[in-house]
Amino acid sequence: MGSVRPIDPAVVRDLADVVGPRQVVTDPALVAGYTTDWTGRFAGRSPAVVRPARTEEVAAVLAVCNRRGVRVVPQGGNTGLVGGGVPLEGEIVLSLRRLSEIGEVDHAAAQLIAGAGVPIAAVQAAAVRGGLAYPVDLAARDSATVGGSVATNAGGLHFLRYGGTRERLVGIEAVTADGRVLRHLGGLLKDNTGYDLARLFCGSEGTLGVVTEAALALSPRFDHRVTALLAFGSVSGATEAAAALKRTVDSLEALEVFFDDGLRLVCEAFALRPPFDEEFSGYLLVEAADRADPSDTLSEAIDSLEGVMAVAVASAASRRRELWRYREDHTAAINGVGVPHKLDVTVPLGRLSAFLDEVRVRVHATAPEAQTWLFGHAGDGNVHVNVTGVAPDDDAVDDAVLELVAHHGGSISAEHGIGSAKKRWLHLSRSPEEIAVMRAIKDALDPNGILNPNAVLP
Amino acid sequence: MGSVRPIDPAVVRDLADVVGPRQVVTDPALVAGYTTDWTGRFAGRSPAVVRPARTEEVAAVLAVCNRRGVRVVPQGGNTGLVGGGVPLEGEIVLSLRRLSEIGEVDHAAAQLIAGAGVPIAAVQAAAVRGGLAYPVDLAARDSATVGGSVATNAGGLHFLRYGGTRERLVGIEAVTADGRVLRHLGGLLKDNTGYDLARLFCGSEGTLGVVTEAALALSPRFDHRVTALLAFGSVSGATEAAAALKRTVDSLEALEVFFDDGLRLVCEAFALRPPFDEEFSGYLLVEAADRADPSDTLSEAIDSLEGVMAVAVASAASRRRELWRYREDHTAAINGVGVPHKLDVTVPLGRLSAFLDEVRVRVHATAPEAQTWLFGHAGDGNVHVNVTGVAPDDDAVDDAVLELVAHHGGSISAEHGIGSAKKRWLHLSRSPEEIAVMRAIKDALDPNGILNPNAVLP
């Protein structure tokens, strides 16, 4: 981790004046809990963690840091995957977890306002108590926070139907680098009064401002849910069926794709009985949910698909969970093979089938000893490319895969963001002109470069 | 209109080198067609209209203007309502109408790429030819262009279900003030690779860059459609029913509100037979559309509403049109009373009923001789406040209404934008801190201030 450059005692005093001395944590044993991400992949160092409890304190903390040129890494639940919340170069950590107030559900608007430190699971629970749902859902829901999800534009499991955080974000409160508070939390659906700062800050990974509150649009809560697993004789059969289902079934909440090698691995790793007696090339896991039972609608749509070799359908929760395991256990099963290179990419839907074929060839050409595992969200064009059998610090496979993504007009980061880990490939998805404009916006809003200086921009 | 400051012949030569001499229009008789908006309310003056046909020409034109400090007003179909496309201070007009290429429907992605000059109606027609729909629809569809709709974040008639242009925008090509081309048209649904420039440029009214192409998400085309007119004994009865319908009917495409005085005016002006034998206080016009007939779903939802005094339901297109006339003819009927002050505002859904009551009182207190006509999109909280019987240049009523909007946490411009007309009220919807951040972004992207200098920012 290297040595931590000691912090100017005057800065600590100024920060303690704002948040109180107990909330400026400098004890290395306590600071350590904030300097390494949960995967252990990104380890930084920091002289101090500041823990404000209110927006005004965040503003005053940033004003101090901006005046004194102290660099700051904002941090929510620390569940990011690209090192965006880790103080890699000795920055101060600005923890937002104490901004944990959550408002009542506004039933007329079907919205809710939550502080940056509120876990996603708490937003979901509050929505359910109000008879609604918060549809952004991800595995890290108990730790990941509202502020972090806004800063990273978190996508999640139901993106297909509801979009990601940016689509749910109807208002924001954020603090700029120099401590000005931007507050626009009215949650108005139609509001053409100048630039949409909420959507700009969303996905900017803490480089433009620190999110302190968010107004979030909720969704209906559906009591009827059906899951189906479909088998196909080819990769393109599965992707074409995914496209057809997306076109015709409005109640779809998931449209997941995986393949024979991954399914075999999952069944072996967890001693699961395979879903069908035969093996097939490609599989789609489909889930629909609605106010009334969507089984008939889904069955009719499946009946009209071409190339379906086998089908299993489930409505009961226990049987649905069994079907989901074939998809969800991919991550753990692959981790059992070895530490994978994980590439979270999107390609245009029309290129999905070609990409799935070519990426195996490309990885094999680059690293003949490697194994490629593919699964993902077929409805979004989002593929999780996992490669095992390659040294963790060997980037050749990453280069090959991400260049193929760029060749197909895809995105090198579907959900996880750029952080510090993906900066060196940013040029594959964004042009020099785009990067220059992003830099100009960054410099305009944070002229001293104190906000998350290692993230996003090269 | 005042006199036009003559343009430097060297600038004309430089521009002609880019687009050809015929596309630099300086004949005042021809220029006049570009300097007044279609309502006649905003009349400007300009020494020249430049009409590029390709993105590279737009870039070269802007590079010339930026180098020479020549100010530019980008213009699409010139159907704006707030003077945002009119050269009020002798700017050059940059007409984008010749960027009229439109791509094929990408069926896998359900998207389409169109040039800035393509009319909205042409996008809709192309979508229909591809078996889909483009859901942003507005009365000006034949003239309004893709570029203008992106620049102003056009909302339209189906906002309730599909959102506005920002929600349909999945990629953009735009040119910055200094002539750099930003091209990000992949249409990827998940793309967390830095700042979302497309959504920032959307709604920036040509002040940050000139939109040259857009990738637009299409929607399913529904063959089954049903319309209902509901009558209520009170304003709050209508707004509460609107909220309940929005909560329970997923296939809703319209949820329009109007009142007894407006309906009476419409029926008198156009000799229409009233919808019911009795008169009621408030009315909701409801439309649902789906893949299967939504009549039963809608009827069940209406049956479970409280306070419904009378119902008329129609599925046949001719009868549906008759019901729609009660709502759509409001604008023409009010124009028959006198030139109205038109205020297009949003309030939070929970405040809609209170606002509708209070705005009449507020207008009456300000201008006792005035008449207030209210109608709008109840599902979006979007009210069209029309006031007749007040001199066109008397802003006291506008002040009173917009201050009431701000008091309720609303937006002074729901759909039309700020342009030049609403700049003086921008502070009612955006704080000094927000305006300062918008100004910083503007100055970063357009340091010489050549792009639409009279729009949005004070």
Number of other CB atoms surrounding residue B313 within 10 Å: 17
Could you give the ipTM of this predicted complex?
0.96
Q: Which residues does residue A282 pair with via DSSP β-bridges, in sequence order?
A: A232, A259
Q: Does A310 touch chain B (CB under 8 A)?
A: no
Closest CA relative to residue A28, chosen from A90, A98, A99, A96: A90
Q: Does B381 touch chain A (CB under 8 A)?
A: yes
Angstroms from B102 CA to nearest CA on chain A: 19
Query: DSSP code of B425?
Result: G
Closest CA relative to residue A88, chosen from A419, A386, A360: A419
Q: Are A178 and A411 in contact (CB under 8 A)?
A: no
Angstroms from B41 CA to nearest CA on chain A: 20
Q: How far is the CA of B376 from the CAs of A193, B342, B384, in angstroms?
A: 19, 12, 5
Q: Which residues in chain A are closer than 8 Å to B346, comparing Cβ atoms?
A: 188-191
Residue A393 CA to residue B247 CA, distance in Å, equals 51
Residue B2: is its pLDDT beyond 60?
Answer: no
CB within 8 Å: A204 and B195: yes
Residue A375 CA to residue B132 CA, distance in Å, equals 29
Task: List pLDDT tens digits, range A427-456.
Answer: 999 999 999 999 999 999 999 999 999 999
Closest-CA residue of chain B to A426? B193
Q: Residue A429 is encoded by which pair of tokens?
A: 């998805």
Angstroms from A110 CA to nearest CA on chain B: 8
CB within 8 Å: A182 and B291: no
Residue A1: is its pLDDT beyond 60?
Answer: no
Closest CA relative to residue A335, chosen from A275, A261, A279, A386: A386
CB within 8 Å: B381 and A190: yes
Task: List pLDDT tens digits, range B371-383.
Answer: 999 999 999 999 9
Mutate to test the interface with A, among B193, B408, B430, B441 (most CBs of A within 10 A): B193
Task: List pLDDT tens digits, range B346-376.
Answer: 999 999 999 999 999 999 999 999 999 999 9
pLDDT mean over B93-115: 97
B40 pLDDT band, cuts 50/70/90, is confident
Residue B1: is its pLDDT beyond 50?
Answer: no
The residue with greater pLDDT, B156 or B312, is: B312
CB within 8 Å: B109 and A350: yes
Task: List pLDDT tens digits, range A324-373.
Answer: 999 999 999 999 999 899 999 999 999 999 999 999 999 999 999 999 99
pLDDT mean over A163-190: 97
Residue among A108, A197, A409 minimizing CB distance to B243: A108
Q: Is B381 exposed, middle or buried (0-12, 13-18, 19+ CB in 10 A)?
A: buried
* Amino acid occupying residue A420: S
Query: DSSP code of B119?
Result: B
Q: Residue A410 is encoded by which pair of tokens?
A: 């895809």
Residue among B108, B411, B416 minimizing CB distance to A349: B108
Residue A406's pLDDT is what? 97
3-state helix, strand, coil in chain A (%, to 5): 40, 20, 40
Angstroms from A28 CA to nearest CA on chain B: 32
Q: Using the Cα atoms of residue B414, residue B416, residue B421 and residue B426 in order, give the sign of their dihedral.
A: positive
Q: Does A348 touch chain B (CB under 8 A)?
A: yes
Residue B3's pLDDT is what? 60
Closest-CA residue of chain A to B108? A350
Q: Are B388 and B368 in contact (CB under 8 A)?
A: no
Q: Does A388 touch chain B (CB under 8 A)?
A: no
Closest-CA residue of chain A to B187? A348
* Amino acid occupying residue A86: V
pLDDT mean over B312-329: 96
Q: Does B318 touch chain A (CB under 8 A)?
A: no
- State the Cα angle at B294 between A285 and B351, rounded to 5°: 95
Q: Residue B69 is encoded by which pair of tokens?
A: 């400090």
Residue A109: is its pLDDT beyond 70?
Answer: yes
Q: Which residues in chain A are closer than 8 Å to B106, comparing Cβ atoms?
A: 348-350
**Cα within 13 Å of Cα(B124), Cβ side:** 13
Residue A428 CA to residue A297 CA, distance in Å, equals 41
Residue A3: is its pLDDT beyond 70?
Answer: no
Residue among A189, A349, A414 minimizing CB distance to B346: A189
Q: Which residues in chain A are closer than 8 Å to B190, comparing Cβ atoms?
A: 155, 159, 164, 346, 377, 380-382, 411, 414-415
Angstroms from A356 CA to nearest CA on chain B: 15
Q: How many Å is the Cα radius of gyration of chain A?
A: 23
CB within 8 Å: B433 and A108: no
A40 pLDDT band, cuts 50/70/90, is confident
pLDDT mean over B278-299: 96
Mutate to test the interface with A, among B160, B192, B353, B411 (most CBs of A within 10 A): B192
Q: Does A66 touch chain B (CB under 8 A)?
A: no
CB within 8 Å: A194 and B443: no
Q: Are B457 and B432 in contact (CB under 8 A)?
A: no
A157 pLDDT band, cuts 50/70/90, is confident
DSSP A169-232: EEEEEEE-TTSPEEEE----S---SS--HHHHHTTSTTSS-EEEEEEEE-EEPP-EEEEEEEEE
What count of CB pairs under 8 Å joins A to B? 251
Q: Residue A332 is encoded by which pair of tokens?
A: 């753990």
CB within 8 Å: B196 and A200: yes
Closest-CA residue of chain B to A241? B108
Q: How far is the CA of A65 from the CAs of A54, A93, A445, B44, in angstroms?
A: 17, 11, 15, 47
Q: Does A406 touch chain B (CB under 8 A)?
A: no
A252-259 and B341-346 as β-strands: parallel, antiparallel, unpaired?
unpaired
Residue A9 CA to residue A18 CA, distance in Å, equals 14
Query: DSSP code of A349?
Result: G
Residue B38's pLDDT is what? 80
Task: List pLDDT tens digits, range A83-104.
Answer: 999 999 999 999 999 999 999 9
Residue B4: is its pLDDT beyond 70?
Answer: no
Q: Residue B442 is encoded by which pair of tokens?
A: 């503007």
Q: Using the Cα atoms of residue A56, residue A62, residue A65 and residue A68 in order, give the sign of their dihedral.
A: negative
Q: Residue A284 is encoded by which pair of tokens?
A: 């789609």
Closest CA relative to residue A220, chosen from A298, A162, A285: A162
Q: What is the largest CA-CA distance in chain A?
A: 71
Residue A457 CA to residue A442 CA, distance in Å, equals 9
Closest-CA residue of chain A to B189? A380
Q: How far is the CA of A73 from the CAs of A173, A199, B370, in angstroms?
A: 18, 20, 56
Q: Does B43 touch chain A (CB under 8 A)?
A: no
B156 pLDDT band, cuts 50/70/90, is confident
Q: Does B440 touch chain A (CB under 8 A)?
A: yes
Task: List pLDDT tens digits, range A386-415.
Answer: 999 999 889 999 999 999 999 999 999 999
Residue among A152, A182, A434 minimizing CB distance to B182: A434
Closest-CA residue of chain A to B441? A441
Residue among B110, B194, B350 minimizing CB distance to A418: B194
pLDDT mean over B1-18: 84
Residue B112: is its pLDDT beyond 70?
Answer: yes
Angstroms from B452 CA to nearest CA on chain A: 13
